Homo-oligomer: A and B are copies of this chain.
Amino acid sequence: MRIENIEKTRLTADVFEEKNFGSSFSDHMLVCEFKENEWQEPVIKPYGQINFTPAMHALHYGQACFEGMKAFKGENGDVFLFRPEKNFERINKSAERLAMPAIPKEIFLDGLKALIDLDRAWVPSKYGMSLYIRPVIFSTEEIISARGSNSFMFVILTSIAPDYYNKPLRVKVADHYSRAANGGVGYAKAAGNYGASFYPTGLAKEEGFDQVIWTDAATHSYFEEAGTMNIFVRIEDKLLTAPISDRILNGVTRDSLILLAEKNGMTVEQRPIEVSEVYEANQNGSLKEVFGCGTAVVLNNFSAIGYTDKVMELPEITEESWGPQLKKQMNEIQYGIADDPFGWRVLVERK
């Protein structure tokens, strides 16, 4: 690994006042090229421009996938990653489905740690904020032929993550548009999954909602994901979440919340969730809460669910609600405040 240091940091106190997600980039980025059938030496260098022509393969064919992770700063200035091995494993699952070469573990994990160590001053120390980490692989061959690329670039970017959502969301159940099909790429963090979601999400926003709850493409009668989040439904004292499939992302936050909930003695069932059962539970008062989870947002309760022309207003969030309790427990592990019974926290050593 080669390191090219920036001459002068761009870091100022203003950076930590950033209100937008994903637009304030730290001093450095990691870049590693795949060519002649192998990954080359990774380079950490100043964040900035790279020359491409508009014939770059990924711009035409979407052969690209990414990960989302965060670095957290503890009270004594220690910086932690959260279950980075999970993201390492998943980016290679995504890469395989998109016919891209797997990233070696040492490039991903050692590169990641070296980058975060170098830019540790960029990790916000305020509870609720963090440094968002974006590993991405995209195809770089200068060709406009509809076949897989022969060259790729793996990049790790980091940018300031303010508190992501701060209010309960109103979400709309998809009854026409779909996100994924059996045999497709729904389980991968494939670039094209996101591009395809913006238009239906825009339509939901025009109706006054914040996000779409994706349902199965065939019948639109089962919950699959909510926006870019996995979804949980609490009916009485049981937490339900859709099972992992080739349509549903195997979320790291999803997995962590399941383990955390079980540790709290909560019952968790991974099974298909019917829209109609949630509707009925809301009618008869057994529906307690519905929330989405993901790296960016951690966990966000919903206040209302739209379905066709109906809107279910969900119960108010109270001190008894599980969502905020689980979020707090997750955050306290992530920031090094609480014990880490599962061994999820990874300290970024100072080199």
Contacts and interface: CB of A to CB of B under 8 A. Distances in A.
Given A181-B184, A184-B178, A54 B155 contact: yes
Nearest to A177: B183
Interface residues on A, range: 35 or more
Interface stretch (A17-25, A113-121, A277-285, A338-346): A17-25
B183 A217 contact: yes
Which are the 4 A-B pairs with shortest beta-carbon distances? Answer: A192-B192, A181-B181, A62-B191, A178-B183
A23 B142 contact: yes
B23 A194 contact: no
A43 interface: no
Interface stretch (A93-101, A303-311, A312-320): A93-101
Interface of A: 20-23, 25, 29, 31, 47-55, 58-64, 66, 96-99, 132, 134, 136, 138-139, 142-148, 153, 155, 157, 159, 174, 176-185, 190-196, 198-199, 201-202, 217-218, 220, 227-228, 296
Contacts of A64: 59-60, 62, 195
A55 B183 contact: no
A22 to B, nearest CB: 4
A147 B198 contact: yes
Contacts of A145: 20-23
A198 B98 contact: yes
Contact of A180 (B159, B181, B193, B194): B181
A8 B9 CA distance: 42
Most B CB atoms within 10 A — which of A63, A153, A220?
A: A63
Contacts of A52: 49-50, 52
Contacts of A157: 54-55, 144
